[in-house]
Copies of this chain bind each other. A is one copy, B any other.
Amino acid sequence: MTAEKPIRIEGSGTYLPRKVSSDEIEKKFNLRSNFSEKYSGVKFRHQVTFESNGYMGARAVEKALLDANLNIEDIDALIAAGATFDYPLPNKSSVILSEIENGNTDNITTFDVDSTCLSFVSAFEIAASMLDGEKYKRIIIVSSEIASKGLNPLEPESLTLFGDGAAAFILKYDERNKARYYKSSFKTYKEGLNYTIIKGGGNKYHFKDYPYSPELYSFEMDGFKLLKLAKQKLPNFINLFLSSLNIETKGIDVVVPHQASKVGLSMFKNFNVFHENQILENLETHGNCIAASIPILLHDSIANGKIKRDDTCLLIGTSAGFSIGALLFRY
């Protein structure tokens, strides 16, 4: 889809589980005091206690509906966009739909989109393609992620970096105002496939054949190689994307990057493509919430006035795979 489209964010909502301080994690895992802030840049993150992906996702959807003054009956499709899940089967969108309270959901299309950390951005592009004001008038995208259960207790950096949470956005096809989907681009660079991985729990290392061990069944990251690949690929990707925009869309007001890590965000700022005050952040207070990072930051920035109607916003990030993606819209 090359052409811009009249797509408007009609409402959004988030759900955050219990707030957990870095101090608490450092004590629990015998880490040096201030390890988290120094290495991960994270002071607080949220972590589930009783919550599931379905529970958090359904609450975020309900809040987004409330924000837009809509009922679930007004929604034509629900896309669950994320990397983590309650069950290997059925899919996340069905689970989230089943936990939504009130309202008849029998006329809703559901499916999951997974491009790991970029899932929300991919789903935004897909929804923008599908929305036509007829068959699909409104689509809700929900990213509900639980990172905390897949962390290796022997890996202090990921233990302190990741957070859990959910966010939902309602997109509407709406020709009556100036909100727009402008453009998006996604590329996958296969040399980075193994730089971020959870090896165990799929068909390659099936739990039937491989007993549980934190090493095999936890998130693993080769931070050095990942950063090197990002440094190599990101500048060219950004330049190509920006140069393809027309004059109007070049007036980017706000950049919402994926909150990958402290070093990742520093690197992004050091490219000097955007002014520091254009770039929004919530790593310090939420950690890396996988696919939920971008929509949580987007929601909070709308709520606190950092993003206003008619602002041109760029969503951008990297994801496991290894992929880079960007999407430009007018709020």
- What residues make up the interface of A, taking CB atoms closer than 8 Å to B? 1-3, 48, 52-53, 83-95, 97-98, 105-116, 119, 122, 125-126, 129-130, 132, 134-136, 146, 149-150, 185-190, 193, 196-208, 211-212, 214, 217, 219, 319-323
Contact = CB atoms under 8 A, between A and B. Distances in A.
A206 to B, nearest CB: 5
A163 B48 CA distance: 37
Contacts of A217: 207-208
A110 B323 contact: yes
B85 A203 contact: yes
A322 to B, nearest CB: 8
A123 to B, nearest CB: 8
A116 B80 CA distance: 13
6 contacts: A2-B135, A89-B219, A91-B321, A94-B321, A110-B186, A125-B130
Given A112-B115, A146-B203, 20 more contacts: A1-B136, A48-B203, A83-B89, A86-B202, A87-B199, A89-B116, A89-B196, A89-B219, A94-B188, A94-B193, A97-B188, A97-B190, A106-B187, A107-B187, A108-B188, A111-B114, A125-B130, A149-B208, A207-B217, A211-B211
B84 A203 contact: yes
A89 B203 CA distance: 12
A289 to B, nearest CB: 14
Nearest to A81: B111
B87 A91 contact: no
Contacts of A93: 115, 188, 321
A212 B209 CA distance: 9
A150 B53 CA distance: 22
Q: Which of A108, A146, A322, A323 has the most CB of B within 10 A?
A: A323
Contact of A113 (B113, B125, B130, B186): B113
A187 to B, nearest CB: 6
Q: Which of A53, A97, A202 has the most CB of B within 10 A?
A: A202
A228 to B, nearest CB: 16
Nearest to A145: B203
A319 B186 CA distance: 29
Contacts of A204: 52, 86-87
Contact of A211 (B86, B92, B201, B212): B212
A45 to B, nearest CB: 16
Contacts of A86: 202-204
A2 B136 CA distance: 8
Contacts of A107: 187
A34 to B, nearest CB: 28
B129 A130 contact: yes
A129 B319 CA distance: 24
A330 B310 CA distance: 41
A119 B111 CA distance: 8
B85 A202 contact: yes
A321 B112 contact: no
A213 to B, nearest CB: 10
